[in-house]
Structure 1
Amino acid sequence: MNPRQYRYVGPADILEQAPPGRRGQAIVSQGDLAAWLTGQTAQDAGEPFTYVIDLGGTLRLAPQRSEHVACAGREPVLGAGEITFTAEGGAWTVGEISNQSTGYCPEPSSWTAVAAALDRAGLERPPGFTHPIVFRRCRRCRQRNIVKDDHYACAVCGGSLPATWNMDEPGSPVR
């Protein structure tokens, strides 16, 4: 079974600001990660980084304040979120990782594609997202929501949120 592809569902103005064809740094090995981290500022090194898993299954990284859609070169993704790294025994490992991307709103089940990309790059990782997030779009007011404590109610209008992922259903703001 092929993993779900997530298209951008965030604000149109952020999509328009993302340079087409430019992507975050591809990380396919420990060496790639070490070289990329060396080039980051001290401020960036202390914060989580933006990541996406492109449709080829490659981990791509950008500084934390980067938009996921820019890291993905405006393309659909298999996963997206924030990630931190720690050095252990001369190798980099994943410290914390989430699916926190309000532009792509990937499901927690995107972990399968994320884990496969991390494994291919030779990065030790946790068994799942350390901070999984459930996203739903309100069918009444169309707002994006984060479901907290299994409370499936819209934070804006109070409407019921669906039990299944619906971020890209017709009527979503970005097509």
Structure 2
Amino acid sequence: MNTKLLLPLIVYLAAATAGCSLTPNRQAPEEAAPSGTPAPLRTGTRSLQERIYTQHRQWKGTRYQLGGLGPQGIDCSGLVYITYRDQLGVELPRTTRDQARAGEAVPRSELRAGDLVFFKTGYKVRHVGIYIEDNKVFHASSSKGVTISKLNGYYWGDKYWQARRVDLHTGRGPVGK
């Protein structure tokens, strides 16, 4: 086999089987985007949506980087981690694998702003985003960077896996209905 093709193939296979940030962040916390203590979360869906849209405006177009956690590059679970920390005041696990165990399962038909939405994009590859409203998901796409996509769109529609709801007051368990 041509050795010029071997290295890119190995890198691609390693990234494809690792999933969206199954590796811990290699940047020091101070290299991540600046965070302040968010204002207390008002109850209600509108406030959640506003905070997610605010995060989108701040990060829109930031390129995807596996393991990234800063403005130079970020992955899907890193974006979820930072959004929950900076906008909602909740400390989530860093990896997609651990985020998929946070909170409690919620049916797709009952999605609300702030719910974590997970996709199976390959044999062992998982992807995560944050549900906003009207089938819109805020996430870090490997092809488009930080963006908002349609949950039922051309690419994502058949890759949906599960959704989780995290209590925004404790970071665990279900949010009151």
TM-score (norm 1): 0.28
Higher helix share: 2
